[in-house]
Structure 1
Amino acid sequence: MKVTIAYIEEPPFGWTEASGIATGADIDLADAVLRTIGVTRIEHRPTSFSELLPGVESGRWDMNVPLFVTRERANRVAFSIPVWGIADGFLVRTGNPKALDSYVSLAKRADARLGIIAGQVQHDTARASGVSEHQIAVFEHQADAIEAVLCGAIDAYASTALGNRIVANRIGGSKLEAVEHESGMKGKQQKPPPGAFSFNRRNSELIQAVDKALRSYLGSPDHRARMAGFGLTHNEIDPALAG
């Protein structure tokens, strides 16, 4: 049995090593679960974020690495049960020159520009928080958005708080820093949005098998140990287990 899973270059969730091998937290989780259900051949297909949904819809591959679950996306693809819950954050130049700690804070500064990957949920979240379209620069790949922050073309790149921490650590604190968003909830803890694998809606057999395996595996000692190797902790895992 062979399954092809598409991924994007977005550490710590997925990336391609110099050797050409795909790795990352989402890749590792997918491989562990697929082997559990009897998959003997796993093919990893690199793609762009904007091609994830069209690709699985048209049958170019069998499943996608986890992405945030939204109603619009659920009308196009079938999602597994959630596998993580992760809040947004900004990647900014060290020192955070414009003191950006939320979409609202960025919206209040007409001179602030925000980078977002095409098709990602951060675009809608930013607009809903008052960020205007002329403040937003859309990129196809994460690497291009990061370079834009480094060279000053944009002031912040919006992605997951976890992913931004990993990127900042890899590049070095002298250039970039990750900023977690202020919740604005006055002490109330807001549950982070869930992410899940996605499939062609007609592939019910694979969906059901993956969900069954995930229910047994998520939160297990082996799962937590594997994810810890990529920087995911109970902060990202437990929200998915809460249902």
Structure 2
Amino acid sequence: MQAQNSTFKWDNNKKLKIAYVDEPPFYWTEGNLVKGADIELAETILRAIGVTSIEYCHTTFEELLLGVQTGRWDMNVPVFVTLERAKEVVFSLPVWSLGDGFVVHRGNPKGLTSYKAVKMRNDARLGLIPGQKQFDAAKLAGVNDSQIVIFNNQPDAVAALLGGKIDAFAATAIGNNAIAEANPELESVPHKNSRDGKAPVGAFSFSKENNELLQAVNEQLRKYLGSNDHRTRMAKYGITETEIDEVVNK
């Protein structure tokens, strides 16, 4: 691990608060523990810059940006970077690049391989979480409101899929792999990337007033992303060179 950042000063009597939601393999709750690839990355970076006490705040996806804006916590786990979100918060350097996909019943009985494929099937029901980029992608592709079923979180959506209330749930392809691995009756269907072949990137987010923490995190990310230690840690969660190199080699 690189040497501790020499300019950032964090009050060791204060806990740095990170907000997260349940979306394996990136972040999730297991018993009394918070786990995941992005949780491990956050801890590695924050320890390196001198933060000694971390508190995790479980929330909903819709509350992430508002919560960090209003100071309920100091930092969010990585989410996709968009122009609209950048109006509300400030993002760190990108930490991964991820494509979309569906998780469906094994065999994909309705042939749902893209948002356009959902649009073409009036009897197809797609589970989405509001505020996530998959919701916008589905609407842009012309998926009808009558085909969309809204959920507050991933576990509820997966339960609905298993119960036959929806035909597909849209999330990241990597995340869907984790869902399918945990539920043998389901399978992951990745989508093709955009025309330029590049998948969207994700990053930690902060209040626009929290520039000192942002700069310290970015300084350490520059040193750490793409290192052997980083790649080894991420590989445990199914995150490979494909997801890392796009942001490291920018």
TM-score bracket, shorter-length normalisation: over 0.9
* Deviation for aligned residue 1:235: 1.2
Counterpart check, 1:9 vs 2:22 = yes
Identical amino acids, percent of aligned pairs = 54
Asked whether 1:182 is paired with 2:195, we answer no
Aligned to 1:145: 157
Alignment match, 1:25: 37
Q: CA deviation at 1:240?
A: 1.4
The within-5 A match list for 1:188-227 is 190-227=197-234
CA separation in 1, counterparts of 2:28 and 2:140? Answer: 30
Residue identity matched to 2:130? A
Instruction: Give the TM-score, by structure 2 length.
Output: 0.92
Secondary structure, aligned partner of 1:12? coil
1:53 aligns with one of 32, 42, 65:
65
Q: Distance in 2 between matches of 1:94 and 1:180?
A: 14
Q: 2-side partners of 1:40 and 1:168: how far apart? A: 36
How far 1:102 sits from its partner (Å)?
0.6
Verify the 8 A CA contact 1:101 1:182 in the aligned structure 2: no
* In 1, Cα distance between equivalents of 2:236 and 2:16: 24
Match of 1:81 in 2: 93
Please say if residues 69 and 194 of structure 1, whose CA atoms lie closer than 8 Å, have aligned partners that are also in contact.
yes
Q: In the alignment, which residue of structure 2 is the partner of 1:72?
A: 84
Could you list the per-position Cα deviations for residues 52-73 of structure 1 after superposition, in whole angstroms to 9, with x for gaps in the alignment?
Answer: 0110010000000000000110
Choose from 50, 56, 72 the match for 1:44. 56
1:10-41 C-alpha deviation (Å, 9 max, x unpaired): 100011112x1111001000000001100011
The equivalent position to 2:238 in structure 1, one of 222, 226, 231, is 231
Greater CA deviation, 126-135 or 89-98? 126-135
| Structure 2 residue 247 is matched with structure 1 residue 240 | yes
The one-letter code matched in structure 2 to 1:219 is G
Specify the alignment match of 1:136 in structure 2: 148
**RMSD (Å), alpha carbons:** 1.1
TM-score, length-normalised on structure 1?
0.95
Q: Distance in 1 between matches of 2:234 and 2:194?
A: 29
- Equivalent residue letter for 2:17: T
2:46 aligned with 1:34: yes
SS in structure 1 at match of 2:116: helix
Q: What displacement does 1:90 show?
A: 0.1
- Which amino acid counterpart does residue 8 of structure 1 have in structure 2? V
Of stretches 80-89 and 231-240 in structure 1, the one that deviates more from structure 2 is 231-240
Letter in 1 for 2:212: E
**Residues 170-223 of structure 1: per-residue CA shift (max 9 Å, x gap):** 122xx10000113485xxx61010000000110000000000000100000000
What are the superposed Cα offsets for residues 115-155 of structure 1, whole Å, 9 maximum, x if unpaired?
A: 01121110111111111111111100111101111111111
Secondary structure, aligned partner of 1:140: coil
2:99·2:193 contact (CA, 8 Å) conserved in 1? no
8 A Cα contact 1:113 1:155, kept in partner? yes
Runs of 4+ with >4 A deviation? none
Q: Which amino acid aligns with 1:73?
A: R
Helix, strand or coil at the partner of 1:89: strand
For this pair of structures, how many residues does the alignment match?
237
CA distance in 1 between partners of 2:188 and 2:167 (Å): 12
**Whole-angstrom distance in 1 between the partners of 2:79 and 2:193:** 21
Deviation at 1:238, TM superposition (A): 1.0
Query: 2:113, 2:191 within 8 Å by CA — same for their partners in 1?
Result: yes
Secondary structure in structure 2 of the residue aligned to 1:50: helix
